[in-house]
């Protein structure tokens, strides 16, 4: 009997598979399709202090081996999440969840985390300093060690819950940014968020997305993500949540060998709403195929 359990920042998961923020709503929507308690956890839709409509449309574009999105952090705001979304999620999911938080200033990150910190079912904060689809915030905080460290330090003061910082791959040195977050009190690192991309409409001769650029996700980005997880694992002592193009149980094993303690599945959920469920169901068979008895034992095994 294989053991799928893993421990992320002191909290044990039944398995390492977590739907990525922005691809799974607030969870209860998928509970209409299957029992989402099979998941290790879930990272709910990126939440900001105030409600956001998001970017103008069109904000989704297909491309080879992936997709572009420029949704722009559409969400109802932290108060509505606390009052309406989390109670609905509690009714169908009975494990700690990951609160994904975004902001446009240090103050906004701090206020949003402080408000969510009162919710008992939130096990971790995933602080997103890596969104490429908004102006004046998001990725701008995650492109330098100094800014990443500053946000980490500020948020660390208002919560004792595990703090995971989600990093952008759109940088020249991911390692220095991860180390800065660790130095300022981060308990974990999530990587990678989407790569910055663009498509152009040949007939209209203009970008397909109203935002012009968007976040590129899907299987095409997996080699970049695996490389960054591998590099950061060598540089920090805190756990890594790996993501980027995961579609199968084999992909989960690859990320864990690179150094991930848990993984997040993103774009695959938009193609197949049962993706996470199917990956979890297939994990024991793939573990047996590669003679793996315990997932915890393979973390960083490729180093």
Indicate if 131 belongs to the active site. Answer: yes
The catalytic residue among 9, 63, 92, 131 is 131
Say if CB 205 and CB 188 are below 8 A apart.
no
CA-closest candidate to residue 112, choices 59, 169, 187, 44: 44
- Give CA–CA dist 30/176, Å, rounded: 37
Helix (H) or strand (E) holding 146: helix 145-156
205-241 per-residue burial string, b: 16 or more CB within 10 A, e: under 16: eebbbebeebbbbbbbbbebbbebbbbbbeebebbbb
**Bridge-partner residues for 63, per DSSP?**
66
Q: Give me the sign of the Cα torsion angle 8, 13, 19, 21.
A: negative
Sign of CA dihedral 186, 103, 53, 225: negative
CA gyration radius for the chain?
Answer: 18
As a whole number of angstroms, the distance between CA 56 and CA 302 comes to 43
* Helix, strand, coil percent content, the chain, rounded in steps of 5: 35, 20, 45
Type and span of the H or E element at 49 = none
CB 96 within 8 A of CB 123: yes
Angle between helices 222-235 and 174-183 (to 10 degrees): 50
**Facing residues of 264 across strands?**
18, 243
Catalytically annotated residues: 131
């Amino acid at each position: 009997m294989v053991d799928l359990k893993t421990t992320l920042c002191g909290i044990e998961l039944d398995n390492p598979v977590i739907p990525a923020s922005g691809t799974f709503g607030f969870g209860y929507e998928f509970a209409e399709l299957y029992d989402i308690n099979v998941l290790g956890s879930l990272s709910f839709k990126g939440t900001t202090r105030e409600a956001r409509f998001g970017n103008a449309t069109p904000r989704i574009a297909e491309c080879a081996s992936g997709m572009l999105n420029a949704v722009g952090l559409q969400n109802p705001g932290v108060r509505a999440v606390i009052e309406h979304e989390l109670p609905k999620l509690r009714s169908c999911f009975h494990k700690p969840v990951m609160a994904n938080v975004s902001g446009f200033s240090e103050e906004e990150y701090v206020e949003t985390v402080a408000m969510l910190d009162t919710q008992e079912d939130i096990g971790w904060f995933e602080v997103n300093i890596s969104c490429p689809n908004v102006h004046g915030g998001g990725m701008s905080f995650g492109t330098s060690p100094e800014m990443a460290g500053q946000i980490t330090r500020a948020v660390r003061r208002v919560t004792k819950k595990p703090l995971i910082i989600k990093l952008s791959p759109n940088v020249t040195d991911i390692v220095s940014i991860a180390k800065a977050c660790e130095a300022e009190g981060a308990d974990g690192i999530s990587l990678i968020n989407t790569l910055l991309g663009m498509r152009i409409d040949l007939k209209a001769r203009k970008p397909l997305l109203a935002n012009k650029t968007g976040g590129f996700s899907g299987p095409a980005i997996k080699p970049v993500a695996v490389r960054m997880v591998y590099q950061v694992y060598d540089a920090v002592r805190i756990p890594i949540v790996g993501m980027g193009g995961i579609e199968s149980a084999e992909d989960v094993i690859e990320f864990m060998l690179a150094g991930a303690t848990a993984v997040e599945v993103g774009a695959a959920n938009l193609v197949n709403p049962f993706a996470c469920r199917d990956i979890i169901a297939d994990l024991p068979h793939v573990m047996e195929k590669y003679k793996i008895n315990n997932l915890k034992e393979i973390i960083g095994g490729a180093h």
